[in-house]
Structure 1
Amino acid sequence: MMKTYEFAGREVNRMGYGAMQLAGPGVFGPPKDRASALAVLREAVAAGVNHIDTSDFYGPHVTNEIIREALHPYPSNLTIVTKLGAVRDDKGGWLPAFEPDDLRRGVEDNLRNLAVDAIDVVNLRIMGDIHRPTEGSIEPQMHALATMQQEGKIRHIGLSNATSMQVRDARKIAPIVCVQNHYNLVNRDDDALVDELAREHSAYVPFFPLGGFSPIQSDTLARIAARLSATPMQIALAWLLHRSPNILLIPGTSSVTHLRENLKAADIVLSDEVLKELNAIGIAGAGPAR
């Protein structure tokens, strides 16, 4: 199993870190323990994580400010990925911010709060059903991002919550280095897209890798984890790493202990027999996680 992947012009470790949980409850407001949030980020980088996923609408602004405080000046091999497409109201509600002017303001906010001159990767988050992409034109938005890329504010562009058609249409305007969609052991709608992107040497970054709002639960998964002296969630992460070499993981946590547990999943080797058992869970569990 490959431990690294060439992503956005750098060799990144396939086990990355998602910063969403560094904000307060509901991804809104400051964390309960800012010192712990800083410690998690520093521990992640010290352990070899060099791909961090964030957004300025987490908090809002909170996670980017914590990333800056914990890690700036950033290691030369660190790739920071952010996303655009929403803002928060004063009660924590999620509002679409998808017009070209909104995207430009979002880029400027990310640049300021991360204290960088250019963002490594910007994912265009296509708002709609949180679990399932919906078709629709993203041409104006892609042109806006491509313009900012030409201006040097963005190095690379990705998509989030996108369909295969949207990926193909976006590529007519600018290269797409990654797609970030809902995918895990029991939510396999993007199987074909994962393979398509692998052929094109583009990364696939699953969100909700551990199930989403309902954690993955399966007697078979629990039995396999026990046999391998691992947790079910470590096995679910390891399955994703085995699924395709272009899959990059960004599990999030606000706990150093949980972070270390997640990172150990990268060292788990799954035999063909175990992979067959795990794949059967996905077939049986098509639809809501069980």
Structure 2
Amino acid sequence: MSVADSGTIDLGGQKVARLGFGAMRITGDGIWGPPKDHDEALRVLRRSVELGVTFIDTADSYGPYVSEDLIKEALHDGSGYGDVVIATKGGLTRSGPDVWPQLGRPEYLRQCILMSMRRLGLEQIPLWQLHRIDAKTPREDIFGEMKKFIDEGLALQVGLSQVDVEEIKAAQAAGLPIASVQNRYNLGDRSAEDVLEYCEQQGIAFIPWAPVNAGTLARPGGPLEKVAANHPGATTSQLALAWLLRRSPVMVPIPGTSSVKHLEENLGGADIQLTDEEFQALADAV
């Protein structure tokens, strides 16, 4: 099994497999503190790379800091990560489980990227993403600081998370080259369709979070179950990922898990080829 069939896209200045791994769930409950099984978290990360994953998405707020620390422990070879692109995010603070206050002041964002570089053992972050645009901070100040990250060599590329088309255009108008957008998008929630279409037009990587959440489409007797009948052994999660990969060439799903078994199941979505009729049936389903 390999994710090679998912295709490739340029991220962080190099080609990566379009089916990546999201490293949020390798932390504790509420995305807070260390994982229940430290060794299993390391195995998940290493197994993902063994299966061909070359793009891993994390954030300084996952833990906080725990996810980045685990990635370095599991995958850093002393000089870097080889062919694996590590993307991280900043712009949120943490005060407890499932609590995510936004903080976009330029000095805090600079602290975020510098500390991520230190934790990940990198002299440059291949792709640094703003976790959220903080409404309390002028976005021109935020975009200006992110531009400095590129100009100073702290980040090779930058991206945005949970934004609308107008906000992407505002960042571009401020001279900030946007390499990726990370919005919620899946079979059950396609509210970011206009953002995906804009990313396609602009050649921006679109990284859907919660990619396997199919909502009511996964109900017994529903559209996913009907398609699954044509793919013996396939899970609804695999089919949901296969649909995303076919939906757009700029799509980079990042399913996450804390279990090697679940990881292998998810990454099997790269091997599923939907027919035109199957793809359209799921696209039309509500």
TM-score by length of 1: 0.89
Quote how far apart the aligned CAs of 1:144 are: 0.7
Q: 1:30 aligns with which of 17, 27, 34?
A: 34
Partner of 1:72: 76
Is 1:16 the counterpart of 2:20? The answer is yes
Contact map agreement 1:137 1:166 (CA 8 A) in 2: no
Pairing 1:124–2:139 present: no
What are structure 1's unaligned runs of at least 5 residues?
129-133, 285-290
Alpha-carbon shift at residue 2 of structure 1 (Å): 5.9
Give the structure 1 partner of residue 140 of structure 2: 139
Q: Does 1:52 align with 2:56?
A: yes
Q: Deviations over 1:50-106 (max 9, x none)?
A: 100001110011000000000112332211111111011156632222111110111
Deviations along 1:134-173, one digit per CA (max 9) or x if unpaired, are: 9x96221110111122111111110000110111111122
Deviations 1:234-267 (A, max 9, x none): 1011000010011001100111111111111011
Distance 1:207 1:262 in 2: 14
Query: After the TM superposition, which residues 92-171 of structure 1 pair with which residues of structure 2 at under 5 Å, given as runs?
Result: 93-126=99-132, 138-171=139-172
CA contact (8 A) 2:102 2:132 kept: no
3-state SS of the aligned residue for 1:21? coil
Answer yes or no: is the 8 Å Cα contact 1:120–1:156 preserved in 2: yes
Counterpart residue type for residue 168 of structure 2: V
Whichever residue aligns with residue 171 of structure 1, its letter is: Q
Report which stretch shifted further, 11-20 or 272-281. Answer: 272-281
Name the aligned partner's letter for residue 26 of structure 1.
Answer: G
> Paired residue for 1:225?
228
Alpha-carbon distance between aligned partners in 1 of 2:20 and 2:150, rounded to the nearest angstrom? 24
Aligned to 2:275: 271
Does structure 1 conserve the Cα–Cα contact (< 8 Å) formed by 2:93 and 2:101? Answer: yes
Report the alpha carbon displacement of residue 127 of structure 1 after superposing the two structures with TM: 5.3
CA distance in structure 2 between the partners assigned to 1:180 and 1:159 by the alignment: 6
User: Partner residue of 2:263?
Assistant: 259
Distance 1:232 1:54, change over 3 A: same
User: Contact 1:210–1:216 at 8 Å: present in 2 too?
Assistant: no
In structure 1, C-alpha distance between the alignment counterparts of 2:96 and 2:18, rounded to whole Å: 36
Q: Matches of 2:97 and 2:278 in 1, distance apart? A: 46
Q: Percent identity?
A: 37
CA distance in 2, matches of 1:54, 1:216: 28
Please give the per-residue CA displacement for 1:178-199, whole angstroms capped at 9, x wherever unaligned: 1000111121122232122122
Given residue 78 of structure 1, which amino acid in structure 2 is its aligned partner?
Answer: V
Distance 1:91 1:234, change over 3 A: closer
Q: Do the aligned partners of residues 104 and 251 (structure 1) sit closer, same or farther apart at CA in structure 2, a change above 3 Å counting?
A: same
Runs of 4+ in 1 over 3 A off after TM superposition: none
* One-letter amino acid of the structure 2 residue matched with residue 158 of structure 1: G
Contact 2:21/2:55 (8 A) holds in 1 = yes
Length, aligned pairs only: 275
Counterpart Cα distance in 1 of 2:212 and 2:6: 21
Q: Give the aligned residue type for 1:62.
A: V
**Normalised by the size of structure 2, how large is the TM-score?**
0.91
